[in-house]
Amino acid sequence: MQLLVLNGPNLNMLGQREPDIYGTASLDGIRAACAPVAERLGVALDWAQSNHEGALVDHIQAAPDRYNGVILNAGAYTHSSIALRDAIGATALPVLELHLSNTAAREAFRHASMIAPVCLGVIAGFGARGYELAIRAMAGHLCDAPVKPL
């Protein structure tokens, strides 16, 4: 099972950016913490991060040829990107929306997700542990559903 963990704008700043909201773990630290979880589940992970909407769209469009599913922390693009929504909707892959913070408990503009309607589900508010939860959730979903061969 191959999964892409795709991270959007400002997530390269984790550990430095507003640690009271996003925690003190860096993206590299989160990746390292997820490695043993993925290994136990028999999941291979590829990680990517971009601050550019088009690059994220490119990753999603290319994903069906390489991955069984995508875990997407789209950051602020969650609330504004019709392009990401359309890219997700154009693939047959399950995409799980992920957020470190509980977006429903934050500013009003963060309450609406453009991508949630085309995603398998949403994990939010569990900090860095949300990535581990997302890997488990996606692996469980794919085990219950037919997994397409790559």
The reported pLDDT for the residue numbered 22 is: 67
pLDDT of 3 reads 98
- How far apart, in Å, are the Cα atoms of 105 and each of 21, 25, 47, 83? 11, 21, 28, 25
**CA-wise closest residue to 56 among 42, 39, 70, 66:** 70
Q: Are 100 and 128 in contact (CB under 8 A)?
A: yes
Which of 67, 99, 111, 141 is catalytic? The answer is 99
Read off the pTM: 0.89
22 has catalytic annotation: yes
Looking at residue 61, its pLDDT comes to 98
Residue spans of the chain under pLDDT 70: 19, 22-23, 105, 107, 109-110, 145-150
131 is catalytic: no
- Which residue ranges form the domains of the chain, and what is each CATH number? 4-101+120-144 (3.40.50.9100)
Query: Residue 46 CB: number of other CB atoms within 10 A?
Result: 14
pLDDT of residue 108: 78
Q: Which of 22, 67, 77, 131 is catalytic?
A: 22
